[in-house]
Chains A and B, each alone.
Chain A
Amino acid sequence: MSSREYILQQIKKNKPELAPLPSLPSFERNDVDLLTHFKETLKFVGGMAIELRDDQNINKEISKIYHDAKQIVSNTDFVSLANFDLTFVTDPHDLKDIDLAILKGEFGVAENAAVWIPANTLAHRALPFITQHVVFILEKYKLVWNMHEAYKKINLQNTDGYGVFISGPSKTADIEQSLVIGAHGSRSLTVFLI
């Protein structure tokens, strides 16, 4: 008997009586301002939120923060700072010297400051992780309150097979519980809300 058959047979023998699968409420809330909550939560998780005013230029504002960035890539028409063309990069290892990736956020979740990044918007899945710093451009109206609403918007079949929620920069507290920002992935994360 194959292990597959054996395991399935054992489960059949040992499993309890069928328990019902609950239907899930979406726990909506009308008493919170999504934008304010998103910004506060992002700060709490070590990221920066910048709400762009009408008289501000996004390129200028990004450059102010990331003036040291040499290699810059972008996947959005909102900015024109990219100086590294991803079109001909076939091997993700060639992304290793990227300093800043400016990426379009599909939508944001106010309760935990997570931004949904599906692979179909990325030239390479490695991009948000291998870059030293990351900027997300997120349209203000694309905020939902919680994860229940978020998953209603996601169909993984339309993502090229991968998608990630990113909430703040990479971090670790593995050395004596001291929080260090910038573990393996991005050293900083800024969300521009436009």
Chain B
Amino acid sequence: MKILIVDDSAFMRTILKNIILKSKYSDAELDEAVDGNDALKKFDQMQPDVMLLDIIMPGKDGIEVLKEIGSSAKAIAIISSVDQKEIIEEAKSLGARGYLVKPYDATEVIAMIDTLA
């Protein structure tokens, strides 16, 4: 399985990587993107099975990323501090198959990947 983690916070990417590496998905191929533009580039290169995508990022945000690749991606889950209903609905209408609001725990992240895999 290939998982792409998109978050402008290096530490949040580290946390998510650690959660995945300690789970049943420890053999997954992982890559990271630091912002929206990097996410689009890495998406093209990697063609991930699962993308964990933050919403609030400098430059191109998660919603804009979804507008570009939401319909072609296999499975995208939003992992964000944003919990406004309108944004969640917009993300889902653009192709996000799951939405996890911070603060999340390891169990929730793995359960999310389970539903997307």
- Are A and B co-members of a single complex? no
Measured CB to CB, the residues of A under 8 A from B are none
Measured CB to CB, the residues of B under 8 A from A are none
